[in-house]
Chain A
């Protein structure tokens, strides 16, 4: 039988994994879509390359916010709740 602290550790690790996994799904899809369509647009209209790359950069850096905060929550769960740093 697991003790309460062991159960808490297991739940925290699982929560950190789920948090990072689910948090990264949206980011990955968003960045993939931005990258794919951005490169397609550059291929169709090479003269607008600078503006398109700039828009891609903004989109990618904004899209990565959720993954960064998922990472923050995962780090908190692992190091504060489990290890009590």
Chain B
């Protein structure tokens, strides 16, 4: 299968990915601004963790779209390699955060949850608000 065939990604999927990333940026900015009044280090850590989480989410979305065009063992080795790289990047950023202090580390650890908050807000809160 050629790369162009593999790269055919449905528009609905791309729109969803962009929506989640927009919400994640919004959450990240709000929380880091609010936390900045109390601890600037926590705020920086949160921004760093959020950026890593968003990068990983974006990469994951690309990997899933590519994976559907691959068969069997190739797909398995492809996704295993990519996950290894994603976790290595996360570990690298956590190491950098831990060398800068516990506030930065706590911010980074919480920042890694930004995408989950965005999915929660998009999937539950907004749909619930529309249905009410």
Query: Which secondary structure dominates chain A's binding surface?
Result: helix
A-B contact count (CB 8 A): 69
**Which range holds the interface residue count of chain A?**
20 to 34
Check B87–A50 contact: CB distance below 8 A. Answer: no
Check B10–A35 contact: CB distance below 8 A. Answer: no
Known: A68-B112, A75-B98; 9 extra A-B contacts, CB below 8 A, are A50-B13, A53-B13, A57-B13, A57-B17, A57-B61, A60-B64, A65-B116, A68-B90, A85-B99
Check B64–A56 contact: CB distance below 8 A. Answer: yes
Check A61–B115 contact: CB distance below 8 A. Answer: yes
Interface size on B, residues (CB 8 A): 32
A15 at the interface (CB under 8 A from B): no
A25 at the interface (CB under 8 A from B): no
Q: What string of 1s and 0s marks CB contacts (under 8 Å) between A9-40 and chain B?
A: 00000000000000000000001000100010
Check A50–B10 contact: CB distance below 8 A. Answer: yes
B68 neighbours in A (Cβ, 8 Å): 39, 42, 49, 53
